[in-house]
Structure 1
Amino acid sequence: MSADGKWKVTINTPMGAQTVNVDIATSGDTFTGKTESPMGSQDVSGKVDGDKLTWSSNITNPMPMTLEFEATVSGDTMTGNVKLGAFGNAPLKGERIG
């Protein structure tokens, strides 16, 4: 499994669908990357375990919270879940775009 590349990820939050572009570069059991969305860009890093990726992201908009991501990559698709702090969970889906 290789998650390397550019991804378009949609998170179905209680405030509606949010789209984030993610650029991922794996190295062994870790990865680094960058997210870009209408709310800004952020460097990210996380863990790789087989076909699963996990990482967290601190956001300030619409309010400060830590998002915890867990995603499974299968070919050119990604599915998973985002823990939205005290606001529960939101499913995510992604597709490789480059």
Structure 2
Amino acid sequence: MDDITGTWDVSLATPIGRQEIVVRLLEQGAPSELTGNAASARETVELQNLRRDGETLRWEQSVRHPIRLNLAFAVRIEGDRMVGEAKAGPLPSTSVSGSRRVLEA
């Protein structure tokens, strides 16, 4: 899996419509320590249990808006692209896609 550090514009295709979030990921140290948060227009939450699982990056997050949910994410990062899914309990999986913001020089 490629480096994950950066600010990511992420889109979730949910049953209640497309949700846009900004995910900030940081990988540092040896062994790698992964931290991050996710921000929407209404809230910012810390990513929990953020970890690499082979070629998959996984984390959980709890949100209150637009409805209260506990989400489990599983994504693959290839270069500046992120693709995967998020699952909320018994609800169907939601597709996730994103792109890393490019730093201006």
TM-score by length of 2: 0.83
Higher-strand-fraction structure? 1
1:1-98 to structure 2, matched below 5 A, reads 1-27=2-28, 28-45=31-48, 46-98=50-102
- Give, in angstroms, the shift of residue 65 of structure 1: 2.1
User: d(CA) in 1 for partners of 2:92 and 2:67?
Assistant: 15
Cα-Cα RMSD: 1.6
User: d(CA) in 1 for partners of 2:33 and 2:51?
Assistant: 4
User: d(CA) in 2 for partners of 1:94 and 1:30?
Assistant: 22
TM-score by length of 1: 0.89
Deviating above 4 A after TM superposition, structure 1's stretches of 4 or more consecutive aligned residues are none
Which runs of 5 or more residues in structure 2 are unaligned? Answer: none
User: d(CA) in 2 for partners of 1:42 and 1:69?
Assistant: 14
More displaced, 86-95 or 27-36?
A: 27-36
Whose radius of gyration is greater, 1 or 2?
2
Count of paired positions: 98
Alignment identity in percent?
Answer: 27
Which runs of 5 or more residues in structure 1 are unaligned? Answer: none
What amino acid is aligned across from residue 23 of structure 2 in structure 1? Answer: V
